[in-house]
């Protein structure tokens, strides 16, 4: 059996990268290879510590590099798999992992969770751009999550060595029948992501305010950790303080008591949240392949979101999902009103979305493609 050096962050926290790690380990990919795991996490206990350097993290990074060298030298992995970051601190770290593995002639396959690598590269210093190109030159293949994401590597990485692999759809989650919607509500809206402008949380708050101003009994739950200062999605003009922006919107739209922010929801809490709400909102500005949308489809809740990441390739507007523009809370509110006024559409959309994902994102397709990619790269 071939050996796979899996250099990836393990939970907690539970964001897209950790979920991707768990997916690899739990599916047939994890059984097709002898896994040599290396937790590349920075010792974060929450998402707000990402992107923040500290002496402890530097020491941890040096230890991880030494471990990669030791595993590569003594256990002789046939191939390495690691995520590719699109923020400066994250890329320096994953770049050093890539260079270390390649130094010992271990072929490296990476996966790209985001869709803004080109924008990230453009914003870096000449020295950092040189380092990025050096690291990209050591990668055998990059896995991307949608055909529309290949352009982010134009001029940086050969297109022939980019491969699209969709994340698999999730098993349907049984839930009680949802109550019928009516034009004036009540309607319970759910947002499940990091609370930041880049994820669309501020647009959700304004959308709730617009709905209530129009006489609709709308409430919302924002389930996610706060990102006080955005350090990863730098091409979005985020506020200096998410807390202050939330407070300002709460006061402006008189949302006291209408919005609940319980923090991160996982496990049974997450399942209950999907079951107890009427519409899922996902107005994010930057994604690659959002796991939360897969979870929403599995739960059978209608979705309003932006055309972000690979969603336009997977879900059709008006059939599977209702799309809104980036930074357009008025369009979010209008789409919610459309669902309230058309209960048949609200009931049919989740069923159609489920069928679309099952057709395009079967687990066996993910497993077969990833196993083939890793076997082809293996020395």
pLDDT at 369 over 80: yes
Task: Tell me the pLDDT tens digit for each residue of 119-148.
Answer: 999 999 999 999 999 999 999 999 999 999
Residues 368 and 354 grouped into a single domain: no
Task: Supply the pLDDT for residue 170.
Answer: 85
Residue at 181 is within a domain: no
Residue at 174 is within a domain: no
Give me the domain span that covers residue 116.
Answer: 3-168+362-377
Mean pLDDT of the 338-354 span = 95
pLDDT at 235 over 70: no
Residues 101 and 225 grouped into a single domain: no
Residues 158 and 206 grouped into a single domain: no
Range among 104-108, 231-235, 358-362 with highest mean pLDDT value = 104-108
Residues 159 and 305 grouped into a single domain: no
Residues 54 and 130 grouped into a single domain: yes
Task: Tell me the pLDDT tens digit for each residue of 263-274.
Answer: 999 888 999 999
Give residue 55's pLDDT band: very low, low, confident or very high (50, 70, 90).
confident
Q: Residue 111 belongs to a domain with what CATH number?
A: 3.40.50.2000
Q: Beta partners for 221?
A: 190, 260
Residues 25 and 99 grouped into a single domain: yes
Residues 201 and 313 grouped into a single domain: yes
Residue at 241 is within a domain: yes
Residue at 179 is within a domain: no
Residue at 175 is within a domain: no
Could you tell me which residues come within 8 angstroms of residue 212 by beta carbon, excluding any fewer than 6 positions away? Answer: 218, 253, 254, 255, 258
Residues 153 and 223 grouped into a single domain: no
Task: Supply the pLDDT for residue 52.
Answer: 62
The region of weakest confidence among 44-48, 102-106, 219-223, 237-241 is 44-48
Task: Tell me the pLDDT tens digit for each residue of 92-102.
Answer: 999 999 999 99
Rounded to whole angstroms, what are the CA distances from 27 to 159, 267, 366?
28, 19, 9
Rounded distance between C-alpha atoms, residue 138 and residue 99, angstroms = 7
Residue at 119 is within a domain: yes
Which token pair is 278?
């009427």
DSSP string, 334-359: HHHHHHHH-HHHHHHHHHHHHHHHHH
Residue at 158 is within a domain: yes
The H helix count followed by the E strand count for the chain is: 14, 12
Residue percentage of the chain with pLDDT more than 90:
79
Mean pLDDT of the 8-20 span = 78
Residues 73 and 192 grouped into a single domain: no
Mean pLDDT of the chain: 92
Domain count, the chain: 2
Task: Supply the pLDDT for residue 76.
Answer: 97
Task: Supply the pLDDT for residue 54.
Answer: 75
pLDDT at 20 over 90: no
Residue percentage of the chain with pLDDT more than 70:
92
Task: Tell me the pLDDT tens digit for each residue of 149-167.
Answer: 999 999 999 999 999 999 9
Task: Tell me the pLDDT tens digit for each residue of 190-230.
Answer: 999 999 999 999 999 999 999 999 999 999 999 999 988 77
Residue at 176 is within a domain: no
Residues 142 and 191 grouped into a single domain: no
Q: What is the pTM of this model?
A: 0.90
Residues 30 and 162 grouped into a single domain: yes
pLDDT at 176 over 60: no
3-state SS of 58-69? HHHHHHHHHHHH
Residues 221 and 316 grouped into a single domain: yes
């Amino acid at each position: 059996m071939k050996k796979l050096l899996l250099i990836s962050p393990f939970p907690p926290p539970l964001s897209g990268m950790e979920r991707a790690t768990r997916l690899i380990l739990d599916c047939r990919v994890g059984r097709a290879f002898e896994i040599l795991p290396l937790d590349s996490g920075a010792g974060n206990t929450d998402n707000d510590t990402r992107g923040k350097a500290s002496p402890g993290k530097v020491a941890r990074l040096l230890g991880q590099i030494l471990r990669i060298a030791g595993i590569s030298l003594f256990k002789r992995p046939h191939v390495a798999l690691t995520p590719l970051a699109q923020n400066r601190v994250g890329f320096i770290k994953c770049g050093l992992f890539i260079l270390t593995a390649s130094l010992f002639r271990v072929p490296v396959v990476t996966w790209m969770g985001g869709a803004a690598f080109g924008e990230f590269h453009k914003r870096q210093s000449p020295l950092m751009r040189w380092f990025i190109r050096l690291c990209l030159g050591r990668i055998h293949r990059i896995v991307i999550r949608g055909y529309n994401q290949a352009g982010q590597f134009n001029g940086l990485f050969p297109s022939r060595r980019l491969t699209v692999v969709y994340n698999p759809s999730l098993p349907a989650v049984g839930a009680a029948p949802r109550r019928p919607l009516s034009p004036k509500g009540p309607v319970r809206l759910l947002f499940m992501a990091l609370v930041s402008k880049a994820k669309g949380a501020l647009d959700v708050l304004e959308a709730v305010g617009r709905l209530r101003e129009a006489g609709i009994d709308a409430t919302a739950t924002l389930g996610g950790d706060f990102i006080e200062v955005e350090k990863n999605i730098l091409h979005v003009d985020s506020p200096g303080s998410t807390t202050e922006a939330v407070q300002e919107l709460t006061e402006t739209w008189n949302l006291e008591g209408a919005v609940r922010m319980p923090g991160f929801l996982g496990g049974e809490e997450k399942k209950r949240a999907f079951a107890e709400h009427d519409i899922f909102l996902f107005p994010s500005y930057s994604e690659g392949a959002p796991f939360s949308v897969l979870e929403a489809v599995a739960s059978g809740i209608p979705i309003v979101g932006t055309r972000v990441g690979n969603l336009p390739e997977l879900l059709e507007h008006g059939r599977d999902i209702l799309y809104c523009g980036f930074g357009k809370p008025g369009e979010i509110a209008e789409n919610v009103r459309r669902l309230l006024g058309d209960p048949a559409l609200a009931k049919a959309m989740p069923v159609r979305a489920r069928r679309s994902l099952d057709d395009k994102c079967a687990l066996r397709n993910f497993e077969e493609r990833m196993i083939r990619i890793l076997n082809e790269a293996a020395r």
